[in-house]
Amino acid sequence: MCGIVGIWGALPDKAQVLADSCRRIQHRGPDSHGLWEDLNAGITLAHVRLAILDLSEAGHQPMVSACGRYVLVLNGEVYNHLEMRAQLEQAGHAPQWRGHSDTETVLAGFSAWGVEKTLQETVGMFAIALWDRERRSLTLARDRMGEKPLYYGFTGGNFVFASELKALMPIPGFGRELNRGAIASLMRHNYIPSPQSIYEGIYKLTPGSWLEVSEADVQGARVPQHVAYWSAMQMADAGLQTRSHFASDAHAADELEAVLSRAVGGQMLSDVSLGAFLSGGIDSSTIVALMQAQSSQPVRTFAIGFHEKKYNEAEHAKAVAKHLGTDHTELYVTADDALAVVPTLADMYDEPFADSSQIPTSLVTRMARQHVTVALSGDGGDELFGGYSRYFRVRDWWAKCERYPRPVRHLMGAMLSASTSLPGRGAWRGKVGKLGELLRTDRHGDFYRQFVSYWADPARVVKGGVEPPSLFEQRLEGSVFDAMMKLDTVTYLPDDILVKVDRAAMAVSLETRVPILDHRVYEFAWRLPFEYKVRGNTGKWLLRQVLYRHVPQALVDRPKRGFAVPLAAWLRGPLRDWAESLLQPERLRQEGWFEPEPILQKWREHVSGHRDWSSRLWGVLMMQAWLDRYHAGMVGQKDTRR
């Protein structure tokens, strides 16, 4: 695992600037750093390395191809690179190998096969920048599911890219204008969806895509269009049209276990210590069980617990670990331990990010790093196999709403929404208001977006904040259940779940891997008939059958809690002073990003105990905390406060 950054343009002293950039993302690669320049072309590439495969100098980056034409920086891991080497050797395209790093393999692939075929051959997680010295072009690429981050764009006439936004801060002129549309999206989702970033003119590369930047693009400050080499949406739709057939339920479980075991085995490849997160839930327990089945030694597993029983899953993780025979480590954290993380979040997440499970995620990654350098996680099971409880609630609500003709539905929705402004108090307002919003939607995506929105109308909260077009607005194939899983896979998963884990883990130089998001597992899951994902009101049905082969059903069958913290109580208690300092009415008015009154009204209702607005307020608070860091980091440059 590593960090990459580069500048192409007329900026002088790029090497000095990128040396500062590397210092800012040294947590992503504390083992070494490297720099490569083409002074004639005006491009400089830099890399910080966390050595996982081939710990020798043969794995050092930036890496020049054996033919001398290409220069590569890569963040991530390509799990099937040995198979790719074998293909290259059989075809007579292999160079004289200098080491056994996946970076060298991928570079040889680009030399022999070109960009698109090489990307299609890879199984892994990565963000790549490839300089072609012959064509004078720069190619950026990102893995299929979006596990590894990659930002890009223009600043001061220079084309720039980086693994994290903080690496771009040393570049003169960077970040002078914030993106109001991105802030509006943050209020709706509590994360900033791709391709937006918090900065105007800087974008996230879409998962499963690549783009090529030419000299003409740089000279004209044009951002080229990205090209998809793999599409989660298209693969899901193709799976809906080509359902698999199984002789029996047991046969289906055999097939799923085989494809998952292959993914797990590939991701256990490492030249350094390796373990796994274990919550005791279906997904992480399945991954650990399949790891242990392929390991001759006890797998290292990690869990954190809370003394508040409502939020504690450590006892379940311990029971699963004992049954599987893993080398298990658990840490019970206090409220003070968790609250101590809060001041670090704005810097850790680099742009405003407001999934409060970022707090326990930070704690468990910090603990795991004390013992291992690589950790596997169970993320992705809910999106692929229909596990979220909200899927069932939305399915039921959609069925009820569809009973009414569209004009009647819209009228009822308007009346219910209006009723929430009547005098009085009570939690009923939120539920009635939400139902009113849902009744006025007509398509699966719009319906689901309203259901998962935090601020349902961000334009009322963010001054001048107009949301850009959203993936939720497109027409989607399949049932409402299918639509939700597809939308989460291309929005919530890469822009929330994977961001949360990547930044928390890399902050402590821990590499995380997600076997369920192997694209072969994803494609298999979408070919499954629906009844193998959901039976009755039970999600992840087939995944459970695989797990029950390794762990007794009684140990893992229980309501899903999620990785939650008692945020509502904290905001009324130990975090109240911190929150009130960020929500001072005068500050909100002077900064000019938010309309103060809707926010302050929810704050008053929350601290009074009449409502739980913690998730909505957390988005505003994370934006405000990030602004403090932003202004502190932009000393000497133009102040963007309005």
pLDDT in tens, 192-222: 999 999 999 999 999 999 999 999 999 999 9
Amino acid at 356: S
Cβ count within 10 A of residue 91: 10
More confident residue, 634 or 581: 581
Place of tokens 């959609």: 398
More confident residue, 410 or 287: 287
pLDDT in tens, 160-199: 999 999 999 999 989 889 999 999 999 999 999 999 999 9
Indicate the range of 151-165, 519-533, 560-574 predicted with least confidence.
Answer: 560-574
Return d(Cα 12, Cα 24) in angstroms, integer.
20
Could you give the percent of the chain with pLDDT greater than 90?
A: 78
The Cα-based distances of 286 to 377, 381, 382, 543, 548 in angstroms read 10, 10, 13, 8, 9
Return d(Cα 123, Cα 11) in angstroms, integer.
36
Top-confidence range, 393-397, 440-444, 481-485: 481-485
Residue range 500-512: average pLDDT?
Answer: 96
**3-class DSSP state for residue 557?**
coil
**Contact call for residues 145 and 513 (beta carbons, < 8 A):** no
Could you give the percent of the chain with pLDDT greater than 70?
A: 92
State phi, psi for 478 to the nearest 5 degrees: 95, -170
Q: Identify the pLDDT of residue 252.
A: 98
Q: Identify the pLDDT of residue 547.
A: 98
Return d(Cα 617, Cα 619) in angstroms, integer.
5
Chain centre distance of CA 198: 16
Q: Residue 325: exposed, middle, or buried by beta-carbon count in 10 A (0-12, 13-18, 19+)? A: exposed
State phi, psi for 375 to the nearest 5 degrees: -135, 130
pLDDT at 428 over 70: no
Q: Identify the pLDDT of residue 77.
A: 94
pLDDT at 52 over 90: no
Return d(Cα 516, Cα 262) in angstroms, integer.
10
Reported as a pLDDT band with limits 50, 70 and 90, residue 563 is low
Return d(Cα 222, Cα 550) in angstroms, integer.
54
pLDDT at 402 over 50: yes
Structure tokens at 510: 């821990």
**Contact call for residues 43 and 62 (beta carbons, < 8 A):** no
Q: Identify the pLDDT of residue 635.
A: 32
**Contact call for residues 20 and 115 (beta carbons, < 8 A):** no
Return d(Cα 416, Cα 433) in angstroms, integer.
6
DSSP notation for 418-485: HHTTSS---THHHHHHHHHHHHT--SHHHHHHHHH-SSS-GGGTBTT--PPP-GGGS---S-HHHHHH
Cβ count within 10 A of residue 200: 17
Q: Which residues pair with 158 in a beta bridge?
A: 155
Indicate the range of 58-62, 522-526, 556-560, 598-602 predicted with least confidence.
Answer: 556-560
CA-wise closest residue to 471 among 481, 454, 482, 486: 486
Reported as a pLDDT band with limits 50, 70 and 90, residue 490 is very high
Residue range 230-256: average pLDDT?
Answer: 97
pLDDT at 427 over 70: no
Average of per-residue pLDDT values in the chain: 91
Q: Which residues pair with 34 in a beta bridge?
A: 47
The Cα-based distances of 367 to 105, 282, 362, 508, 564 in angstroms read 33, 22, 9, 9, 18
Q: Identify the pLDDT of residue 432.
A: 63
- DSSP 8-state code for residue 528: S
Residue range 101-125: average pLDDT?
Answer: 97
Reported as a pLDDT band with limits 50, 70 and 90, residue 267 is very high
Segment (H or E) for 320: helix 314-324
pLDDT at 636 over 50: no
Cis, bond preceding 405 (omega within 30 deg of 0): no
pLDDT at 65 over 50: yes
State phi, psi for 124 to the nearest 5 degrees: 170, -165
State phi, psi for 512 to the nearest 5 degrees: -115, 145
CA-wise closest residue to 178 among 617, 592, 618, 491: 592
Structure tokens at 460: 């009322």
Cβ count within 10 A of residue 609: 9
Residue range 349-372: average pLDDT?
Answer: 95
The Cα-based distances of 198 to 6, 22, 226, 247, 350 in angstroms read 19, 21, 20, 51, 9
The predicted model scores a pTM of: 0.93
Cis, bond preceding 30 (omega within 30 deg of 0): no
Return d(Cα 206, Cα 208) in angstroms, integer.
6
Return d(Cα 409, Cα 440) in angstroms, integer.
6
Q: Identify the pLDDT of residue 313.
A: 82
Q: Identify the pLDDT of residue 638.
A: 39
Place of tokens 């059903």: 553
